Amino acid sequence: MCGIVGYVGARAAQPLLMEGLRRLEYRGYDSAGIAVAEGGRLSVAKRKGKVRELDAALPAAGFSGAVGIAHTRWATHGEPSDANAHPHLDATGRIGVVHNGIIENAAALKQRLAAEGVTFASETDTEVLAHLIARRPEPSLVEAVRAVLAEVKGAYGLAVIDAARPGALVAARNGGPVVVGVGEGEGFIASDAAALMGHARSIAHLDDGELAEVRADGFTVFTLEGTQTVKALSELSGDALALEKGDYAHFMRKEIDEQPAAVRRTLLGRFDRRFATAHLGGIEMAAREMLDIRRVKILGCGSACHAGMVGAHLIEQLARIPAHAEPASEFRYRNPVIEPDTLYVAVSQSGETFDTLAAIQEVKRKGGRVLGIVNAVGSTIARECGRGVYLHAGAEVAVVSTKTFTSTCTAFALLALQLGRVRDLSAAAGARLVAGLDALPDQIAGIIAREAELAALSARLAGAEHAYFLGRAASFPIAVEGALKLKEVSYLHAEAYAASELKHGPLALISPDTPTVMLLPDDDLLAKNLSTVAEVRTRGGPVLAVTQPGVSLEGVEAAFAVPACEPELAPLLLNIPLQLIAYQVAQGLGRDIDQPRNLAKSVTVE
Ligand code: G6P
């Protein structure tokens, strides 16, 4: 979280920095700011609110300097305000710093600076860095930053500018993602390569404990100890247009529509049809190693964890290996038992979620083996895992996850199929699943095309203060994800329960004012699910069903049927209407759909 951009070159920095900020706004949007070096000083603008508020605060003529840094913030220390917005400057206004992360010893450093007569303009932890850097005697900015970081504890992604030495910016990383980029006589810094698309030709990811001097003619990377390191450059490919909304009102709706194509890309080249199985080359696992797996443990946060819950069901059903998903944020704090015959699978869209990264590091530290299921190529989690499955779902910009949830479930179906076919899953069952997966993209497109049929369900939810989402067994993770989606974008209270647990407590809250969204796939648990519908109806609770053709819908107030499919894959289809419902409800309530209050994508802090 927090977006960072830096530019040094020959063009005016401001338009490039502002474009970068708009692309990074998903990382935080409570305040934003920019500092450009011109005429030996820093010209600065900062504003509470979104990047468009900062836009409005810029001088009409704009800043003309060709070196600058900018930031969009998700507050940790100090409430969102003009003063707490980054960049933060030293007392003379020469050094500017933008920061993503937390400086843990900021209080002690602040006390020391205060004793030396420094007064602070903000409540942030970041400001101490600007004062400390300005007080260093080293001849170059990179040396001064290195000296300061030696006494800093905490997590950071940083960009630093010095108006008196505008030939180079400095970037540093310890726990917060930072890439440096190279263009035609231009140098760049960003917390996410998306900010640089269309401008930088190639990029390098800094590793923890590295800092870089970024100049118009290239960059040099050092460790915090001062040793120069050689970084591999990768070409920055990708379509800058994919980062635009186009004709859509919201990225969330655009990304819902992109799901058929995203799933096709997740599947592309990953079937071995001759053996009715999947072939995931990136997991780098021979059949023998797969046979030795006794347990699968899936780790992720938010929607990534919910997709992991879907994955656990698939692996258990198809491969008959005990599998379980758990929030990575909880796992890492409970001194987990790591077993040598357990396969750990880390799931992350951004590949930068701090809690997930820390969980992986804990598993690795104890000798466990981890695979990654990641969307962002070259991201920290992908690199930390070393092997795994890329989703190839394309950039996801809306804070809430839609297409990457579906692509992650698809990747798990492939993994489960491959593990299953090494074990007891028959060729006939394998062929049935391959055909089922092949059909998914068109089926998803068909559901999205019928969006209008969901209006009655959405209207019923929009008028309620609370809602239940119920699903049994493999549908339960979809109930959890559906409730999360509604909460995130509409701010309505939605709670998910396993349908079988209803009578063990939550039934007490069922009333005519509390609608229940019931997942009713046409599977062998249908009779049980219909009993749950009857239990809710008997207490006067309205039932909205997401179901499949041919299911009896007695007593159901409104329903939507997804196509018939292979039973194991039904969760992937049942989820699509729930995304659309969340979107419709939020739109009806006039919510800020792409940037819901208090949330951010890519949560790089604890
Ligand atoms: C944040 C987002 C969620 C997301 C989760 C995990 O909490 O708001 O939408 O599911 O992070 O993100 P990741 O990038 O690791 O999948």
CATH number for the domain harbouring residue 65: 3.60.20.10
DSSP E strands: which ranges in 243-294? 271-272, 277-278
SS3 of residue 61 by DSSP: coil
Residue 602 lies in a domain: no
What residue owns the CA closest to ligand 1's atom 7? 302
Final residue of a domain: which of 403, 420, 445?
445
Could you identify the atom of ligand 1 that is nearest to the CA of residue 381?
Answer: 15
Does residue 96 belong to any structural domain of this protein? yes
For the stretch 551-595, pLDDT in tens is 989 889 999 999 999 999 999 999 999 999 999 999 999 998 888
Asked if residue 512 and residue 407 are part of one domain, the reply reads no
| Greater model confidence, 14 or 28 | 14
Instruction: Please indicate, yes or no, whether residues 186 and 81 belong to a single structural domain of this protein.
Output: yes
Q: Which atom of ligand 1 is nearest to the CA of 306?
A: 10
Is the CB of residue 350 below 6 angstroms from any atom belonging to ligand 1? yes
Q: Has residue 14 got a pLDDT over 90? A: yes
Q: Is residue 606 part of a domain?
A: no
**In this structure, are 435 and 475 located in the same domain?**
no
Question: 1 vs 456, which has greater pLDDT?
Answer: 456
Average pLDDT of span 98-123: 94
Same domain, yes or no: 429 and 497: no
User: Are 290 and 364 contained in the same domain?
Assistant: yes
- For residue 287, pLDDT over 90 is answered with yes
Query: Which residue range(s) make up the domain with 9?
Result: 3-238
Q: Is 579 touching ligand 1 by the criterion CB < 6 Å?
A: no
**Buried-state track 501-513, b at ≥16 Cβ within 10 A, e below 16:** ebeeebbeebeee
Among 183, 217, 238, identify where a domain stops.
238
Residue 364 among the catalytic residues: no
Q: Looking at the structure, do residues 146 and 133 belong to the same domain, yes or no?
A: yes
Mutual angle of helices 127-134 and 141-149, in 10-degree steps: 120
| 12: exposed, middle or buried (Cβ count in 10 Å: 0-12, 13-18, 19+) | middle
Residue 455 shares a structural domain with residue 440:
no
* Within-domain flag for 502: yes
What is residue 570's predicted lDDT score, i.e. its pLDDT?
Answer: 98
Same domain, 494 and 583: yes
Nearest CA to ligand 1 atom 1: 601
Say if 605 falls within a structural domain. no
Cis peptide bond N-terminal to 260, omega within 30? no
pLDDT at 595: 84
How many whole angstroms separate alpha carbon 579 and alpha carbon 257?
Answer: 11
Which of 394, 422, 445 finishes a domain? 445
44 has a pLDDT exceeding 80: yes
Which residue out of 2, 305, 409, 565 is catalytically annotated? 2
Question: pLDDT band at 498, cuts 50/70/90?
Answer: very high
Q: Are 190 and 257 members of one domain?
A: no
Q: What share of the chain has pLDDT > 70, as a percent?
A: 99
Told to judge if 301 belongs to the known catalytic residues of this protein, a careful annotator would answer no
- 554: domain CATH number is 3.40.50.10490
Distance 300 CA to ligand 1 centre (A): 8
- Closest Cα to atom 4 of ligand 1: 302
Domain contains 604: no
Mean pLDDT of the residues in the chain: 94
Ligand 1 atom closest to residue 484's alpha carbon, by position in its atom list? 9
Give residue 267's pLDDT band: very low, low, confident or very high (50, 70, 90). Answer: very high
Nearest CA to ligand 1 atom 3: 302
Residues 44, 48, 49: CA angle, nearest 5 degrees: 120
Point out the ligand 1 atom lying closest to the alpha carbon of residue 302. Answer: 10
- Between the CA of 302 and the centroid of ligand 1 the distance, in Å, is 5
Per-residue pLDDT, 244: 80
Residues 42 and 135 in one domain: yes
Residue 603 lies inside a defined structural domain of this protein: no
pTM of the model: 0.85
Confidence of residue 71 (pLDDT cuts 50, 70, 90): very high
Determine, yes or no, domain membership for 77.
yes
Tokens standing for residue 414: 């492939």
Same domain for 394 and 282: yes
Whether pLDDT at 29 is above 90: no
- Considering its fold, how many domains does the chain have in total? 3
Based on the fold, state whether residues 432 and 402 are members of the same structural domain.
yes
Buried/exposed code over 447-484 (b: 16+ C-beta within 10 A; e: otherwise): bbeebeebeebbebbbebeebbbbbbbbbbbbbbbbbb
Backbone angles phi, psi at 270, to 5 degrees: -115, 15
